[in-house]
Structure 1
Amino acid sequence: MSNTQLSTNQIAAYNKDGYIVIKGFCSRPEAEKLYQTALQDDAMKKNALDLNDQTGKKTKLSLWFTPGDNVFGYLTRSEKMVTSVASLLDSTAPVCHFHSKLMQKEPKVGGAWEWHQDYGYWYKNQFMFPDQLISVMIALTPANRANGGLQVIKGSHKLGRVNHGFSGEQVGADMVMVENALKTMELVYCELEPGDALIFHSNLLHRSEANLSDHPRWSIISCYSSQSNLAYSENSTSWKTPVKIVPDNAILEWETSDAAAVDFLVKENDPALKETGWENKVKTV
């Protein structure tokens, strides 16, 4: 079994706070290999999506569904990732990979992500059970207040799903509820070093500010679901396919294939970015 199994205290902290930070989850050599591959991979560049925040600043992401036989797929499918996720999802069903995304916040120009819950997006995919959805962020560069690192509202996953509307090209949470949550719960800046992991619940309220620093802020976020969690409006198939686990050493030691072989998201096909009508009734600013 993986030597990175979560402790009883870590599982309890996740259930109480909606997130945990694991320092050194990936080694520095692993984080460096992931970062250098991200910088050099033509498929990641070609399939990067621009999403404008409220001010018009762009944040870039490349999103794919089925994890391949490349270094990103090996991370997603690694025993330490899947074992950790399995201990936190509210299900004994096999762990499936919904999607992963390479987040790219360039110096000075990288846009903000507005307050939101991931389930605010994934509700439109008609996933049934938010407690069976989870995200794992791996920092590839330092993430801090200066370069737009992630902020979370501690314990906000217990609010349930908050209404979401459009905020620029993003989906943002109802700011009335966000402001009330900030009066009630603690705002936490999750500052990470390369290789650190932030694991968080699909209903945790989180945001990040624009990167106005001289340094990039890159990360990979892998999102998982239990096979028992049905998605009635999702055309991809990885969300219902159990992950084919690989040993942790695959990240550094196994041969890799071209990332171009994976199934990237096309912006126009994302149900979360399509209007349903009720978004216009939600205050997001």
Structure 2
Amino acid sequence: MAKESTKLNSEYLYNRDDFQITPKMKQSFDKYGYILVRGLLDNEEVEKVKKVFENATSEQILEDNKMRVSDGQGREAKLIVWSHPGNDVSGMVSRSQKVAGTCEKLMGEEVYHYHGKLVSKEAFTGGSHLWHQDYGYWYKNGCLLPNMMTVFIALDKCTKGNGCLQILESSHTCGRLDHELMHGQQAIPDIKRVEQIKERCPLVWCEMNPGDALFFHSNMMHTSGQNSSPNRRWALLTAFNTKSNNPTKQHHHPCYTPLTKVPDAAIKECENYTLDLSQMGFVHPSQSQTSRPSLTKEQEEATTRS
């Protein structure tokens, strides 16, 4: 029988004065496919990031570029995707040593910003994400190796009730599984295979507080449930690719672009709360090549005209 738990085997506490990736943490990432760092962003940093996405100017930008992804059960998750980190507070987070620098140490080489995302599951209506691997998407973009990863930073409290992440520990060692389009999401179609993997790779619920960060390998299998609670669930995600894994073709995410990293202190020093349309390169729903999210009527008309 498959095991389920809320206890993570690869969990660490962020210490602002002495945080570094130790050999033990690297070994843990290689074994389990992730590390969870509690308190990577403190309360002030979280509030600064939320201020970027909650102001009136940003709300319009987000609305214009929102992808609504159906879960096949009458609900939707919402995504906003961009190509490059801007000079606002959220960009400082993605470019910081404790985010990008940590990824370089975990991957063992230079990384670049593959794309960023704001993922939202609104109260009572937020949809689920089906079982998948990020590399299941990215493989189709000409990335030949799974030497890629994602950093999931909770901006709101993530619980079982509002659709927190669920992961299969060590499932990244199973390699890439085939993915097909299901309800507008690239997902693993062979659920029997997933159930078999659960027998050996425990399912863990990643309940997180605002500021907690999950660094995970691109082949780790994960899913998340619907949000049936009265509490919103927002998360900032940054995907990184390694320089040596530069895609073999042009697609809707960037090829290798050198990343200018910043000190961690830049997050609190930054007072720019305006998303930069020219710098970030938002990905319109009609441009996505790896999924077909639900479009608004206006977006469908724009796609038809183009």
TM-score (norm 2): 0.84
Do the aligned partners of 2:123 and 2:232 also contact (CA within 8 Å) in 1?
yes
Distance verdict in 2 for CA 1:205–1:66, change over 3 Å: same
The CA distance in 2 between the partners of 1:3 and 1:241, in whole Å, is 30
The one-letter code of the counterpart of 2:36 is V
Alignment pair present for 1:151 and 2:128 = no
Residue in structure 1 matching 2:91, options 67, 70, 73:
73
Counting aligned pairs with the same residue, the percent is 34
Do the aligned partners of 2:180 and 2:187 also contact (CA within 8 Å) in 1?
yes
Name the counterpart of 1:279.
Answer: none
* 3-state DSSP of counterpart to 1:137: strand
The CA distance in 1 between the partners of 2:248 and 2:231, in whole Å, is 40
Do the aligned partners of 2:82 and 2:281 also contact (CA within 8 Å) in 1?
yes
| Unmatched 5+ stretches in structure 2 | 1-15, 293-306
Q: Deviations over 1:240-270 (max 9, x none)?
A: 0121011112212123263133201122222
* 3-state DSSP of counterpart to 1:68: coil
Do the aligned partners of 1:140 and 1:220 also contact (CA within 8 Å) in 2?
yes
Q: Deviations over 1:36-85 (max 9, x none)?
A: 32222232233221111121311001100111111111111111112110
**Segments ≥4 residues shifted beyond 6 Å:** none
The CA distance in 2 between the partners of 1:224 and 1:239, in whole Å, is 11
Name the counterpart of 1:253.
Answer: 269
Following superposition, the deviation at residue 170 of structure 1 comes to 0.6
The one-letter code of the counterpart of 1:33 is K
Name the counterpart of 2:298.
Answer: none
The CA distance in 1 between the partners of 2:30 and 2:115, in whole Å, is 23
Do the aligned partners of 1:21 and 1:196 also contact (CA within 8 Å) in 2?
yes
The one-letter code of the counterpart of 2:206 is C
The CA distance in 1 between the partners of 2:162 and 2:286, in whole Å, is 29
227-236 or 199-208: bigger deviation: 227-236
Alignment pair present for 1:52 and 2:67 = no
Name the counterpart of 1:28.
Answer: 43
The CA distance in 1 between the partners of 2:161 and 2:105, in whole Å, is 33
Name the counterpart of 1:95.
Answer: 111
* 3-state DSSP of counterpart to 1:30: helix
Name the counterpart of 2:221.
Answer: 205
Name the counterpart of 1:278.
Answer: none
* 3-state DSSP of counterpart to 1:73: helix
The one-letter code of the counterpart of 1:98 is Y
* 3-state DSSP of counterpart to 1:82: helix
* 3-state DSSP of counterpart to 1:143: coil
Do the aligned partners of 2:129 and 2:223 also contact (CA within 8 Å) in 1?
yes
The CA distance in 1 between the partners of 2:34 and 2:136, in whole Å, is 17
Do the aligned partners of 1:56 and 1:168 also contact (CA within 8 Å) in 2?
no
* 3-state DSSP of counterpart to 2:140: coil
Do the aligned partners of 2:52 and 2:88 also contact (CA within 8 Å) in 1?
no
The CA distance in 1 between the partners of 2:132 and 2:174, in whole Å, is 12
The CA distance in 2 between the partners of 1:24 and 1:256, in whole Å, is 23
69-78 or 1-10: bigger deviation: 1-10
The CA distance in 2 between the partners of 1:110 and 1:234, in whole Å, is 32
262-271 or 112-121: bigger deviation: 262-271
Q: Deviations over 1:204-247 (max 9, x none)?
A: 00000000001011100100011110212333574401210111
The one-letter code of the counterpart of 1:7 is T
Alignment pair present for 1:128 and 2:144 = yes
The CA distance in 2 between the partners of 1:218 and 1:128, in whole Å, is 31
Do the aligned partners of 1:17 and 1:154 also contact (CA within 8 Å) in 2?
yes
Q: Deviations over 1:183-209 (max 9, x none)?
A: 222000011100000010000000000
TM-score (norm 1): 0.90
Do the aligned partners of 1:151 and 1:207 also contact (CA within 8 Å) in 2?
yes
Q: Deviations over 1:94-137 (max 9, x none)?
A: 2100001001110010000000000011011010110x200001
The CA distance in 1 between the partners of 2:87 and 2:172, in whole Å, is 33
